[in-house]
Chain A
Amino acid sequence: MSDQLGFLPVYTQEFIIQPTSLCNINCRYCYLPDRLSPRSIDARTLARVFAAIFTSSLVGERVRIVWHAGEPMTLPLSFYAEAYRLMDLANPRQIPVESVFQTNGTRLTQAWCDFINARQIQIGISLDGPQAIHDANRVDRQGRGTFARAMRGLDLLQRNGIDPVVLMVLTRQALDAPDALWQFLLEHRLTSVAFLLEEALDTAHEIPLRSAADRQRYRAFLQRILTLRESCAHPPFVREIDGLIDRIKYLTHPVRAQANIPLAVISFDCEGNISTFSPELLTQSHPRYQNFWFGNVFENSLEELLNHPHFRVLNAEVQRGVARCRETCAYFLFCGGGSPANKLSENGTFASSETVHCALHIQTTTDVVLNYLEHSIESVQEGP
C-alpha cells in the first residue's frame, strides 16, 4: 500500500486499542479527558476490531497491537484472556502478533505476570524515577503517591523474568535531576528507557516546558545523561539518544513519522471508532473538527478511512504541515514532519510546522547528540 506522500510503501506499524478510558490513578500532568469514565469495550466490538485488523491489506509480516488506555489493567485479566482468544480466532493465517501493554504497573499481580509470559507480551511501564520525583505527579485519586505500588509491580515483573521498557515523563523537576534518574535506572536494573517531555495535548492547558530556560535545562540534562552513559559498562538503552545515534550513522532515507502518515498507526476506542495519525486524537474533541474519528469497525474497513470526507480534509491539512516542515526545517531528516497532535495543540492547526515539542524533542536532542559524536570522534583521533 502506498502512503500519501508517494515515496515508500507503508503498512500499519501499530494498532492501538483503548479497551477502556478509565485510569485508576490521576497523574497531575495527564491531559486525557475521559480517564474517570468506566466505559469499556465489549466482546462484540473487540471481535470486529480484530476482524478489521486481520483482514486488512495494511498488515505486514507481523502485527503489533498496543493495549493503551487509561490504564489497560483496570480491566480484569479474564477480559484479556477472552480478548486474546478472539484475536486468535480472527487470525487464521497465524500472522505473528507482538502485543504490548502500556501500564502504570500498580495493578500487576503474579497472575498478570503468568499471562504476560504465556502470551509473550511486551511491557512498557510508566515510572518517573526516584520516589520524590515520581510521587510529585504520579498520584492516585486521593493525591497519594503511587511509587510504592508501581515499584511492587516492577519487582514482580523482574522476578518473573519480564524486562520492561520504562516510559519516563520529564518535568522541570526531573530535568534538574539527571544523576538521580540515571542512578534509579541502574539500581533497578532497567535496561531501556524512553523519555517523554511533559506536554499538554489539549486546548485547555498551558504548554509546559516552553521557555528558553527549559530548552537549556533539557540540553544540560541530555549532556549529563551522555556523560553518565559513558561511565557505564552496560548503559540502559535510551531511546532518544541511542535511536538517534543509529539514525545518524546508518540511515539512507529520511525518517518517516508514524504520527503523520495516514494509517501508519491506527487507533480504536471502546465504541469501535477508528482514528489515525497521533493516537491522542482518538479521545480529543476540537471546536473546529469536533472529533477525529474516520470510521467505525461496524461500518468500515480500515482501507475505507482514506475515503472518509473528514479524513480527507484533515489529511490535506496534516500533509501541508509536513510539507512546510520539509521546506523550512533543517531537522526534517530526523523527524519526518512532526506530530499533528502537538501542532494542533500548540499552533491551532495541523498545517503548521515547528512546535515546542519539536524544539525540545527533535532539535535539541539532535544538536546535543551531534555535538557529542563530533567531540567523541575528535578525542579518538587525537589519541590519549
Chain B
Amino acid sequence: MHKMDGEAPVLERVKKLRKQLEIAAPLCLTDPPYAPCSSACGKMAAAPWQQFSVVELDQRLWIAWGESGTRA
C-alpha cells in the first residue's frame, strides 16, 4: 500500500477496514454488501490474489478514462 508522509485519515480507515474484512471472512461474493455467506450458493470468496488474473489485477490498478465507460 502506498504510504504518504503523516498518513492521512482516509488511509487509516482503509487499513482498519481491511483488517476488519479479514475478521468478517468468509465473504460471499454473490451477496453484497459482502456479508458473511449464509446461503448455499457455494461461491465463497477466494483469497484476493486467487480471484483475479494478473491482467485483471493490473486493470484494477488503473482509473480508466471516464468516457468509454466500459470498464471499472
List the interface of chain A (C-beta within 8 A of B).
8, 13-14, 16, 61, 66, 68, 100, 102, 122, 124, 165-167, 194, 196, 226, 229-230, 235, 237, 239, 242-243, 245-259, 264-265, 278-280, 326, 330-333, 335-336, 339, 361, 366, 370, 372-374, 376-377, 380-381
Query: Can you name 27 A-B pairs with beta carbons within 8 Å?
Result: A13-B64, A14-B65, A61-B55, A66-B70, A102-B68, A102-B70, A124-B70, A226-B33, A230-B33, A237-B72, A248-B18, A251-B61, A255-B62, A255-B63, A256-B62, A256-B63, A258-B63, A326-B4, A330-B4, A331-B10, A333-B11, A335-B63, A376-B33, A377-B21, A380-B35, A381-B23, A381-B24
Closest Cβ–Cβ distance, residue B61 to chain A (whole Å): 6
Q: Are A252 and B63 in contact (CB under 8 A)?
A: no
Q: Are B72 and A102 in contact (CB under 8 A)?
A: no
User: Which B residues lie within 8 Å of A253 (CB)?
Assistant: 1-2, 61
User: Who on chain A is nearest to B64 by CB?
Assistant: A258
Q: Are B1 and A252 in contact (CB under 8 A)?
A: yes
Option from A166, A332, A336, A373 in Cβ contact (under 8 Å) with B33: A373
Closest Cβ–Cβ distance, residue B18 to chain A (whole Å): 7
User: Who on chain B is nearest to A234 by CB?
Assistant: B30
User: Which B residues lie within 8 Å of A122 (CB)?
Assistant: 70
**In the assembly, what is the distance between CA of A254 and CA of B2, in Å?**
6
User: Size of chain B's interface in residues, with CB distance under 8 A?
Assistant: 38
User: Who on chain B is nearest to A280 by CB?
Assistant: B67
User: Which A residues lie within 8 Å of B18 (CB)?
Assistant: 248-249
